[in-house]
Structure 1
Amino acid sequence: MELTRFLAFLAVALPVVYGAPTQTATNLGPKVLEAMKRDLGLESDQAYARVARELSAVEIIEQIKTAAGNSFAGAWVTENGAITNVAITDAAMAGQVTAAGATPVIVSNSLSKLEEAKLALDNTNIDQPTTLSTGEEAATGIAAYYVDVEANKLVIEALAGSTDHAAALAAQVGLTESEFEVKTVDALNTPFLQGGDAYYIARSARCSVGFSVTTGFVSAGHCGTAGSSVSTTLTGTAIGTFSASVFPGSADMSYIRTTSGTNQGSINGYNSADQDVAGSTAAAVGAAICRSGSTTGVHCGTVRSLGATVTYAEGRVTGLTQTNVCAEPGDSGGSFYSGAQAQGVTSGGSGDCTAGGITYFQPVNEILSTYGLTLVT
């Protein structure tokens, strides 16, 4: 791919919406409308309405979270974004939640309590012990764990041979049976690294660009390490290098500093008009979200959980967002977005875009704040 084409590719098909007063901010790209109809069953007018409602929901949730303090137990949207649910442990707060425009849900566990248990698990050795749950033939491993705000529990995903181990880990960090759930999964997660038609790392592996920043772009950390060169083709001239990268550990994020002129605000619309990014307001659990990647294009789904910890072969990664959007190798690093709002860069997961799957992304705001970057909008 020649350099001029790559300039338009730097944010990979991120459309804009949310009903802001300009034409740009009220336009959903045709590829995204097509994907939202295919993956979410939404007609064009329904798609516009949903993303607008969900942006308003974020503001309501933040207001209640501040007022509720330790009583806050998480929030999520339902009914295509029409209902904002806010969980609280103090029933006396219900009136305030209703007055703010949300539906109160009274639960037992505060969000801070479950997050503290998850943090304790992050700091625990979770390697599978010698004694297995269902015999020596059963596959073992802890795939992921996260706070499910709707269930008001910590969920641990484990292979069949590690379900007992998962329950023991939950007990080890102080959770009772009513405070956690073990879910059996078929396979561990993998980073989506190979394939794709985006950018090359050290003239070898390929990944997808996430979002343009004023001095380059951001992507996934597993795509490359500091000092690795980046080019637009396998044999092309390098246009930049990985300035910083984290994977595994506290994030799956990278910052690629590029040569002058490669940080354009316009993005590749996948055979549609180039479009812009309006901001990076984080979406709520249950919100519609789409992903653009160089292997599979645009696919949509919903946010399932925030702050998940995922186990890859290389180690655990904390602080990822779980979605039911599909992805495949080569989509790594690509844009996750909700309407016009940048959400994060594709990390990894399981499944594919034929059978469906689960995909995690690294929140973009953490990348921007960590490296002191400014999103191009």
Structure 2
Amino acid sequence: MELFRFLAFLAAVLPVAYGAPTQATNSLHPKLLAAMKRDLGLDAEQAAARVSRDISASEIIEQLRTTAGNSFAGAWIAEDGTTLNVAVTDQALASEVTAAGATPAIVANSLSKLQDAKQALDNIDIEQPKTLATDSANVGIAAYYVDVAANKLIIEALSGSTAHAESLASQVGLAASEFEVKTVETMPTTFATVVGGDAYYIDNVARCSVGFSVTTGFVSAGHCGTAGSSATTTSGASLGTFSGSVFPGNADMSYIRTVSGTTLSGYIDGYGSGNLPVSGSTASATGASICRSGSTSGVHCGTVRALGATVTYAEGRVTGLTQTNVCAEPGDSGGSFYTGAQAQGVTSGGSGDCTSGGTTYFQPVNEILSTYSLTLVKA
């Protein structure tokens, strides 16, 4: 199928009070249901209920974020998929959290405090000084993000950089109880590749996956191409040109303005089971179910693990990404992340693969839309 015939995404789901699924979720596409069954162990009824709860949780979180003000400490959906937890630093707010339909958690650190520390890390050089004794293969800060459930800043580092990570945490003013260093085996990589496949090509060399269609083109990952790069279909027909691109830095996003005559529809390729429609872009909470579609590995699902993560790629740091446990592989870059009917973002990079599993990050789509003043195409 030509790329321009399947630019975009998903079907309508109406938010309701947390825990009560809507009838609209019963229309989830069979391909999406199959992926959620395979990756999350949910049958059709459970998947529909989960998607409805995940989307409605976003409204409750925003309501309580406003109510709690500086005492707001983040929110997350528990692993059981049925409990929305909202953390606050003021015990007096617990009753308001409960009244809104969430479970209160009283913690020591506000979300703003931990986010400020993360921002401070973003603003300094985190490279570890090299010495004769340094094993460069074991050195590197892979990523860092706020874990709202743990109420800490998490720093992921290779084994040779754990002491350096601790030093960085101290440098931005965090006490030992306010951060955690996790050892990882590999550094993240982006998922661009030169292997052919059913996707779009950049300058007739690299391959990426389309994210979402907008009224004048489509969006994808920034590392896929720079402003002025060409985009073509798998058969070599012109799709358009990269009009804007950011990578590395404060985003991994791009906007490709398509040529006249390109069909831009509100669907994404379902990889053998029809196309999946999209109806909006309400952002999902930590712990929410989420799925990804890409030209190499097709459709896979998992959950959101952290918001606002900073990731260190070989090309440099990228801030503001969302961490998930959904797998991805080379060529999936730029592809779409979505929760039920709601577009979430475009695939950036990560580690692992869809055989052994892994961690994947995505660029939130709403930032792309606002940066380039774009309008999402809906089914």
TM-score normalised over the length of structure 2: 0.94
Name the residue aligned to 1:187. 186
- Cα shift at 1:271: 1.9
Equivalent pair of 2:10/2:279 in contact (CA under 8 Å): no
Cα distance in structure 2, aligned partners of 1:184 and 1:29:
38
Contact 2:289-2:339 at 8 Å conserved across structures? yes
Unaligned 5+ segments in structure 1 are none
CA contact (8 A) 1:30 1:272 kept: yes
Q: Distance in 2 between matches of 1:262 and 1:23?
A: 31
Q: C-alpha distance in 1, partners of 2:277/2:255? A: 20
Partner of residue 349, structure 1: 350
Q: Does 1:126 align with 2:123?
A: no
Question: Separation in 1 of the partners of 2:285 and 2:211?
Answer: 20
What code does the residue aligned with 1:114 have?
L
Residue 229 (structure 2) aligns with: 228
- Contact kept, 8 Å, 1:294 with 1:331, in 2: the verdict is yes
Aligned equivalents of 2:178, 2:306: Cα separation in 1: 16
- In the alignment, is the contact (CA less than 8 A) between 1:15 and 1:32 conserved in 2? no
Tell me: CA distance 1:24–1:151, structure 2 relative to 1, closer, same or farther (3 Å). Answer: closer
Which residue in the other structure is 1:27 paired with? 27
Structure 1 segment 313-324 matched on structure 2, within 5 A: 313-324=314-325
What amino acid does structure 2 have at the position aligned with 1:94?
A
Match of 1:115 in 2: 115
Offset at 1:20?
7.7
Looking at structure 1, the residues matched to 135 and 356 of structure 2 have their Cα atoms a distance apart, in angstroms, of: 29
CA RMSD in angstroms, aligned pairs only: 1.9
In the TM superposition, residue 23 of structure 1 has moved relative to its aligned partner by 8.9
CA offsets 1:151-202 (integer angstroms, 9 cap, x no match) = 0000000000000000000000000000000000001000000134200101
Which residue number in structure 2 is paired with residue 253 of structure 1?
A: 253
CA distance in structure 1 between the aligned counterparts of 2:139 and 2:15, rounded to whole angstroms: 49
Distance 1:137 1:375, change over 3 A: closer
Moved over 3 A (4+): 19-26, 134-138
1:329-354 deviation line (CA, Å, top 9, x unaligned): 00000000000000000000000000
1:9 to 6, 21, 26: 6
- Provide the C-alpha distance between the structure 1 equivalents of 2:73 and 2:250, rounded to a whole number of angstroms: 23
Letter in 1 for 2:98: T
Which residue identity is paired with 2:3?
F
* Pairwise CA distance, 1:82: 1.4
Once the 2 structures are TM-superposed, how far is the Cα of residue 19 of structure 1 from its aligned partner? 5.2
Q: CA deviation at 1:146?
A: 0.2
Query: In the alignment, residue 172 of structure 2 is paired with which amino acid?
Result: V
The alignment of Structure 1 onto Structure 2 pairs a total of residues equal to: 370
Shift of 1:279: 0.2
Q: CA deviation at 1:57?
A: 1.1
For residue 138 of structure 1, report the CA deviation from its aligned partner. 6.3
Percent of counterpart pairs with the same letter? 71
Aligned-partner Cα distance in 2 for 1:137–1:246: 28
Q: In structure 2, the residue corresponding to 1:322 is in which secondary structure?
A: strand
Report if the CA contact (8 A) 1:89-1:106 is conserved. yes
CA distance in 2, matches of 1:50, 1:366: 25
1:156 maps to which residue? 155
CA contact 2:6–2:275 (8 Å) conserved in 1: no
Contact 1:296/1:331 (8 A) holds in 2: yes
User: Paired residue for 1:325?
Assistant: 326
Deviation by residue 1:290-332 (Cα, 9 ceiling, x = unmatched) = 0000000000000000000000000000000000000000000
Q: Does 1:278 align with 2:293?
A: no
Q: 1:135 to 1:267 in 2, by over 3 A?
A: closer
One-letter amino acid of the structure 1 residue matched with residue 11 of structure 2 = V
For residues 25 and 100 of structure 1, what CA distance do their matches in structure 2 show?
22
Partner residue, 1:307: 308
Counterpart residue number, 2:13: 18
Distance apart, 1:6 and its partner CA: 2.2
Secondary structure in 2 matching 1:360: strand
Could you tell me which residue of structure 1 aligns to residue 142 of structure 2?
143
* Pair 303,177 (structure 1): closer, same or farther in 2 beyond 3 Å: same
Asked if structure 1 preserves the Cα contact closer than 8 Å seen for 2:222 and 2:254, the reply is yes
Q: Is the 8 A contact 2:25 2:48 kept in 1?
A: no
Give the Å deviation of 1:70: 0.3
CA pair 120-79 structure 1, distance change in 2 beyond 3 A: closer
Contact 1:192–1:329 under 8 Å retained in 2: yes
Normalising by structure 1, report the TM-score: 0.94
Match of residue 295 from structure 1: 296
How far off its partner does 1:264 sit? 2.0
What's the CA shift for 1:137?
7.3
Question: The residue matched to 1:167 in structure 2 has which SS?
Answer: helix
